[in-house]
Amino acid sequence: MSELIVPQPRELAAWVADNNPFRGLVSFSQSQLADTRSIEAQDRRLLVEGFVEAFQWQAIRPLLPLPLIPPTDVPPERPRRYRSHYVWIPPDDVQSAQDFKGLDDFDLILRLFDFSAWRPILAQRFRNTLGPPPFDPVSLGLGMLLALWRRWSWPKLVTELYSPERGPGYCRRLGFRLDDLPCPSTFRMALNHSEPSWILQCVDSVAAGLMHCEIIPTTSTFEPADQGVSVAIDSQLVLSRSHMRCRFQNAACFKPVQERTCLAKAEGRTGCNCDDCAQHCRLAAARDPEATYVFYEGKNQPTKADEKEGKPRRQGKHYFGYKDKAFNIVDDRLFTLWPLPGPFVTANRNDHLQTIPGLRDLCRRFPTLKIGEIVADSGEGYDEILAFVHQDLKALRTIDLRQHQSDDDPLACLRRGYDRRGTPLCTYGYRLYCNGHDYQRCSTKWICRQRCLRQDQPDCLPPTPESPDGAPVDPTPCPYRDSASQGFTVTVKDTLPDGSVRLARDCQVDSEAWKLRKGRSSYAESRNANQTRRGVKRSPWFGLPNSAKARSLSDLLTLAGTVARFVREATCASGG
């Protein structure tokens, strides 16, 4: 066993302040975004001005390594001896696009980034300097990333490190010595003894470094460009490593026998008497004690038939495991997203209850990042979330509407002053036009523009006994019909005219601008695809903490792998 003295990490050097090539990336206009929607993202990026010039290998090679910026609250590392030593090795083996053929994206990640900044983060699991020297925590951390990238088990990872074909290359880049490699239990122990918050700090260091390089945008990439970034909220269910044995598993299944209650028996099922169950119920998944069961219907809103009959919908999927929420920075320059991990909880926790704590934690982790828009589905359309986005974040609420049965009642719409999409109505039932959003006052102005002079029938007709389909009211007495007047106006801030928040939005729902903004949420599907490729849609490891680590590591691979993919695309497109 050899020992190496690892020096203290150096301070982050100033990185490309004046000639940053990524500043030249220009977003499409709204008309260009609409015209190119049918083009695949890979081909669409090649149309972006400055993309090839910024990401091609000849331009990015002098800038390497890309920096990682760890959080400031990480305690300094104690000097110690290690059995391995990770150090970034310049990529002299890559000179042109031809050299990319033998490298996958993980090989490029090891050449693009210097991961030495992780050492103080991952070394927090060492309590003191006593005992035999351990392996460099950065080497072990990169080994975990490699196992997740390749979907290898720990024994398979060690076998590949010993492989005469790929082993020497991986050991050189990860900092291992060929005559002193860790065993599978070393990787397993390093994972189990690393806190999920430490892995999250590693992810944040990569994201902060990319923001510092301006690869990840820190201002809006959608018009107007001087606002904060757009954040798309993505929630998904993650299957636990253990298979479900009882759908009623809960915390009581792991209490002492005298205090244990069976929820299955309370629901009229067979359950378990736990006569021979010592530490926990024999039907519980002991290695995934926090996992819970849910039935996912696939939609956030019930159908009209279900509302009338009061019956639950039958279509859906059974899940036993956890719930993952991520906050994805939308990048309209490169038609991609940059995932930032959020709360990771049991599957039966409601989505919207994690949103506000997750956004507050995101603001704590990235204090200089301004959020200018939240893009989400109707699962986030609760009053408290809408109020938080508008009042605390001062951001646009591009969140799908949560419907109510009163929205289909024209009389109720006319009384409250807005239709089923939250568009304000005048007294006579005509919809108002959106006149723009004031970003300083966080208010949206709506104006009628004398619509009644050009439209015969109102948009909202309440039914009467004489006219079931609705009888229009004569708008002649309206004082706003004068051509000198700008028309009837309504200002919407955090609430609609009747004080309701549920349908209050900062852009006209279903307008072209709304569709463009909402359409960008499809970028979030690429995160789901990456999670599937990494095999974390079902957790590769047991327990909620380790499952959360797998999620964070997968998002880290998405962040770094996206840069590697862009470098490959630009270099191949340039022919160099």
Q: What is the pLDDT of residues 373-414, one digit of tens each?
A: 999 999 999 999 999 999 999 999 999 999 888 888 888 898
Which of 331, 241, 311 lies closest to 539 in space, CA to CA?
Answer: 241
Mean pLDDT, residues 162-168 taken together: 93
pLDDT at residue 524 tops 80? no
At residue 106, φ and ψ (nearest 5 deg) are -70, -35
Is the Cα dihedral 556, 561, 562, 564 positive or negative? positive
CA distances (Å), 498 to each of 187, 433, 466, 490, in order? 59, 18, 29, 12
Q: Give the relative orientation of helices 383-391 and 352-365 as an angle to the nearest 10 degrees.
A: 20
Note the pTM of the prediction, 2 decimals.
0.91
Encoding tokens for residue 398? Answer: 């591009």
Model confidence at 257, pLDDT cuts 50, 70, 90, reads: confident
pLDDT at residue 340 tops 50? yes
pLDDT at 18: 58
What is the rounded distance in angstroms from the CA atom of residue 30 to the CA atom of residue 37?
11
What is the rounded distance in angstroms from the CA atom of residue 71 to the CA atom of residue 69?
7
What is the rounded distance in angstroms from the CA atom of residue 521 to the CA atom of residue 503?
19
Encoding tokens for residue 408? Answer: 């289909």
pLDDT tens digits, residue range 287-300? 999 999 999 887 66
At residue 340, φ and ψ (nearest 5 deg) are -120, 115
What is the rounded distance in angstroms from the CA atom of residue 299 to the CA atom of residue 313?
10
Name the least confident of 214-228, 279-293, 318-332.
Answer: 214-228
What is the rounded distance in angstroms from the CA atom of residue 288 to the CA atom of residue 279?
14
Cα first-last separation, the chain: 44
User: Is the pLDDT higher at 309 or at 559?
Assistant: 559
Asked if 340 contacts 224 with a C-beta cutoff of 8 angstroms, the reply is no
pLDDT at residue 13 tops 50? no
DSSP helix, strand, coil percent of the chain (3-state; round to 5):
40, 15, 45
What is the rounded distance in angstroms from the CA atom of residue 66 to the CA atom of residue 96?
19
Please name the residues in contact with 497: beta carbons below 8 A apart, sequence gap of 6 or more. Answer: 416, 417, 418, 424, 490
3-state SS assignment for residue 135: coil
Which of 46, 561, 496, 18 lies closest to 339 in space, CA to CA?
Answer: 561
Mean pLDDT, residues 553-571 taken together: 95
Name the least confident of 7-21, 72-86, 489-503.
Answer: 7-21
At residue 418, φ and ψ (nearest 5 deg) are -160, 155
pLDDT tens digits, residue range 69-105? 999 889 888 888 899 999 999 999 888 888 888 899 9
Q: Give the relative orientation of helices 544-574 and 196-212 as an angle to the nearest 10 degrees.
A: 20
What is the rounded distance in angstroms from the CA atom of residue 120 to the CA atom of residue 105?
26
Model confidence at 7, pLDDT cuts 50, 70, 90, reads: low
> What are the residue boundaries of the structural domains of the chain, listed by start?
19-220+553-574, 229-401+520-526, 415-504
Mean pLDDT of the chain: 88
What is the rounded distance in angstroms from the CA atom of residue 509 to the CA atom of residue 421?
6
Model confidence at 146, pLDDT cuts 50, 70, 90, reads: very high
